[in-house]
Structure 1
Amino acid sequence: MARKNSARLVSVDFLRGVTVAFMVIANNPGDTMYVYRELVHSHWHGWTAVDFIFPLFLFLVGVSVALAVRRDVPEATLWSPALRRAGIIFLLGLFVNGFPFYHLDTLRIPGVLQRIAVVYLAALWLHLKLGRQGILATALGILVGYWLLWTFVPVPGLGYPTLDKEYNLEGWLDQMLLRGHIWEYDTSWDPEGLLSTVPCVALALFGVLAGRWLKRGGNPDWRNVFLLGLGLHLAGLAWDEWFPINKTITTSSFVLFVGGFGVMLTAVAHRLLDGKNHGPWITPFLALGKRALFVYVVSQLLAEVLYVTKLPLAICQGKSLHFWLFDGFLGFVGDRYVASIAWAVGLLVVLTVMVMLMNRAARALRM
């Protein structure tokens, strides 16, 4: 989804790398009972730092689409590889959801990778069809329409519109179409459900606009772009009064809030990184950014293996391999919160070294 080799922008790889790094840390605490508040998703309305992570990745999907795809080439040459890429990502998501015990009758269909695949295709299609004003109008139209839907459309079975966590339009639609195949931790709705995927397309479209700006050269008016992002961010914060910021159902205010933040990050990263000399500090983030999908999938699979692998009772009281390693390496740390995040950072370091070695091997093979 990004341009190849020398055409890649350091700022985009860096932002993607930082995003996936935080994703790994947030998803893999040493002990889920001891996690800092900002690394726990908001219960419903409101936000924490971790609520920005996956939406920012979707924003960067839009950025990458705009950078990678030329609108002046025949569409027929684009759709075959795009559909193949999206299909692989979607199937990887199903693979991760079911791993390691695949029960098809209860396999969760929505998921992080599945949403990326759908949003990618939607953003690509709209990028090819629409100019800048059309993209902006479509994004805003989606957000206004989504607000109207939640504000005025009665929830079937209730007879009135509601943003209640226990029963709402998102949950009703997920139950109608995906009953038995949604998030196992709350069977009433899915955090990557069907309805909330629609405003995620608007989020990616803000990324498309940012990517088009980068493709045009960006730098001279980066301050104006930053201020535009700040305006979107503040507009989302203001809208929170009437349509609460909510990551789970991806409210329109949340999209503006996070999308504006993404625009600001893009402007600043472009100004500071693109066309500049960098120290070695940036290398790990670039490696993660170039192999973000690999890092995410491996982190999810590895975490699941560690949790489901039970050691013999005689060795360690039947603990999982995860807690045996966690206690063995970090049991001496008095503060359980510190130990928990240290485990996540350790996993991130392992994955970073892995992708850096992969990149080095790939370069050697090309020589």
Structure 2
Amino acid sequence: MPYGAGMSAKCANRIVSVDFLRGLTVAFMVVANNPGDTENVYRELVHARWHGWTAVDFIFPMFLFLVGVSVALAVRTDAVPSDLLPRALKRAGIIFLLGLFVNGFPFFNLDTLRIPGVLQRIAVVYLAALWLHMKLTRSGIVLTVLGILVGYWLLWTFVPVPGLGRPSMDMEYNLEGWLDQTLLRGHIWEYDTPWDPEGLLSTVPCVAMALFGVLAGRWLKSGDGPGWTVVVLMGLGLHLTGLAWNEWFPINKLITTSSFVLFVGGVGIMLTATAHRLLDGKVHGPWIAPFLALGRNALFVYVTSQLLTRVLYVTTLPELFCDGKTLHFCLFDRFFGMVGDKYVASVFWAVALLGVLTAAVMLLGWLRQRRVVR
């Protein structure tokens, strides 16, 4: 039977809907992060430059939301193992170091190594969400989220930026940039901004995003509580509240404004509830297998896609082949150059890369089933 075909709601103590959503998010991430031609990319596959949003701005926050869901599903608050925190610290440390490795690859210049990053933020948020999940009741989590979001809004609205003398949400001068430059100067993302998109200050509201996931995970795990309709309406309410708050505190993924957390967290809750209703407790056909494979190997897929793309861009072929162009350029030109629309060709390249990675993780799953690999 193909991997995933005919699977029940739970396989190896995993909830299908959560793996599916993670896999869907991974797939979107690979397509968005790896265009064939960076000069020709559809608008919805490019992050909003500052205020506002595009479809791709939902990807990373959904990962953080699903981190919270997974924490709630994996950890019982009434029977915490004594070795849980050491194991969590080890796991977070490995993820953080992997993030540093990805940032440095392939040249590893320690003088300019970017310290923040996607995996680094996931590691920090994971630890925070785990600790709060173990310590707080549901009402305690709600109050913590409320405190984070209101406090973050007050910070940006009333606290002057040192050196500027007034509060600012300008792209060039803001608290995020000041803190990143003060503590991490020379080790942040410095292409065209003075701050890092995974910087220090904006990591705090990301914890609130994960806590929304914790609440959703507790709902999934309990098997009771509010019904599907009520949960979806709650998610819709959060989403619309974030949209309304946009008028006073703009939706902004790059600094993870409170309005953005509500805007995306509401969507996360609606998607989780809907996927649970449609997928869990059902028998599925082979169509779901690729998404489950991606979802269960998300870290591997992310790291591999990042490293593979770097190799393709930095490997220069001899003059005899492709006029000394990079391996990425040669492959893209050879296999997708005949596509008339450059935007379509760019997406086709990304989808092809996604296909390769999906085939790899499905093969890995097949080998694990047959105990060829662990």
Same fold (TM over 0.5): yes
**What pairs up with 1:1-367 in 2 under 5 angstroms?**
5-74=11-80, 76-217=82-223, 221-365=227-371
Mapped partners of 1:218, 1:155: distance in 2: 47
Report the AA paired with residue 32 of structure 1.
T
Contact 1:219-1:270 within 8 A present in 2 as well: no
Mapped partners of 1:334, 1:137: distance in 2: 54
Report the AA paired with residue 356 of structure 2.
V
Q: Which has the higher contact order (CA 8 A, sep 6+)?
A: 2
Report the AA paired with residue 250 of structure 2.
P
Residue 38 of structure 2 aligns to a residue in which SS?
coil
> Alpha carbons of 1:219 and 1:25: their partners in 2 closer, same or farther (altered >3 Å)?
farther
Give the drift of 1:314: 2.6
Contact 1:236-1:257 within 8 A present in 2 as well: yes
Structure 2: runs of 5 or more not aligned: 1-9
Report the AA paired with residue 35 of structure 1.
V
Runs (4+) of structure 1 moved beyond 4 Å? none
Contact 1:63-1:209 within 8 A present in 2 as well: yes
> Alpha carbons of 1:154 and 1:36: their partners in 2 closer, same or farther (altered >3 Å)?
same
2:5 corresponds to: none
Give the drift of 1:5: 4.5
Structure 1: runs of 5 or more not aligned: none
Mapped partners of 2:190, 2:158: distance in 1: 29
Residue 107 of structure 1 aligns to a residue in which SS?
coil
Report the AA paired with residue 168 of structure 1.
N
Mapped partners of 2:78, 2:355: distance in 1: 41
Give the drift of 1:279: 1.2
- Among all aligned residue pairs of Structure 1 and Structure 2, give the percentage whose two residues are the same amino acid: 77
- Which one has a larger percent helix, Structure 1 or Structure 2? 1
Mapped partners of 1:187, 1:148: distance in 2: 23
Report the AA paired with residue 246 of structure 1.
N
Mapped partners of 1:114, 1:294: distance in 2: 15
CA RMSD, Structure 1 to Structure 2 (Å): 1.3
Mapped partners of 1:171, 1:365: distance in 2: 49
Residue 72 of structure 1 aligns to a residue in which SS?
coil
Contact 1:219-1:271 within 8 A present in 2 as well: no
> Alpha carbons of 1:30 and 1:336: their partners in 2 closer, same or farther (altered >3 Å)?
same
Give the drift of 1:219: 8.8
Report the AA paired with residue 151 of structure 2.
G
> Alpha carbons of 1:304 and 1:58: their partners in 2 closer, same or farther (altered >3 Å)?
same
Please give the TM-score of this superposition, normalised by the length of structure 2: 0.95
Residue 320 of structure 2 aligns to a residue in which SS?
helix
Contact 1:155-1:162 within 8 A present in 2 as well: yes
Report the AA paired with residue 72 of structure 1.
D
Mapped partners of 1:170, 1:135: distance in 2: 25
Contact 1:170-1:196 within 8 A present in 2 as well: yes
> Alpha carbons of 1:336 and 1:219: their partners in 2 closer, same or farther (altered >3 Å)?
farther
Mapped partners of 1:265, 1:30: distance in 2: 30
Report the AA paired with residue 50 of structure 1.
V
Give the drift of 1:76: 2.9
Of 39-48 and 186-195, more deviation after overlay is shown by: 186-195
Residue 365 of structure 1 aligns to a residue in which SS?
coil
Mapped partners of 1:313, 1:300: distance in 2: 26
